[in-house]
Amino acid sequence: MLRNSSQGIPVCITVTLTDGFVLARSVFNHSMNYRSVVALGKAILVDAPEEKLEALRAFTEKILTGRWNDARQPNEKELKATSILRLPLTEVSAKIRVGPPEDDAPDYALPVWAGVIPLHLTPGVPIRDEMCDPSIPTPGYAAEYKR
């Protein structure tokens, strides 16, 4: 599908992060706190090997700064098997919901707990691969990873 579309592929990319469950006194008014983005456009296949390699490097470094130089780089076979798409941002929409529950006025008198259960994405302690030489120290970008 990707290799036969030199003119671009119409795409819609949606990402939502749930930040909390909002529990109202009425089930009808339950909600969630979130951050959401929708991007529409024509994705273009990146064919040039050096451009694909740079995109993979940039992505890796965005996630874990310093990892690209520690790990083996993709070989020619891996680059050929990987598709990279470029999406010019021509139409983007972002939406956010924050805050406490919003109940109907009469429901505030109900003896029902209401509030927010916050949700967080937090990194855990790195777990060494069983096949990894124990004398190799855990790199700082893994041991001290934070977002």
Which amino acid, residue 58? Answer: A
| Any domain includes 52 | yes
- Alpha-carbon span 112 to 109, nearest angstrom: 9
For 12-33, the pLDDT digits (tens) are 999 999 999 999 999 999 999 9
CB of 25 within 8 A of CB of 108?
A: yes
> Domain range for residue 88?
9-143
Of 76, 69, 89, 70, the residue nearest 50 (C-alpha): 76
- Return the number of other C-beta atoms located less than 10 Å from residue 103's C-beta: 17
For 97-113, the pLDDT digits (tens) are 999 999 999 999 999 99
| Any domain includes 41 | yes
Residue 22: give its domain's CATH number: 2.30.110.10
Determine the pLDDT at residue 5.
61
| Any domain includes 84 | yes
| Any domain includes 46 | yes
Confidence of residue 132 (pLDDT cuts 50, 70, 90): very high
Determine the pLDDT at residue 111.
97
- Output the average pLDDT for the chain: 93
| Any domain includes 1 | no
Average pLDDT for residues 45-50, to the nearest whole number? 91
Which long-range contacts does 73-77 make (Cβ < 8 Å, 24+ apart)?
Answer: 76/49
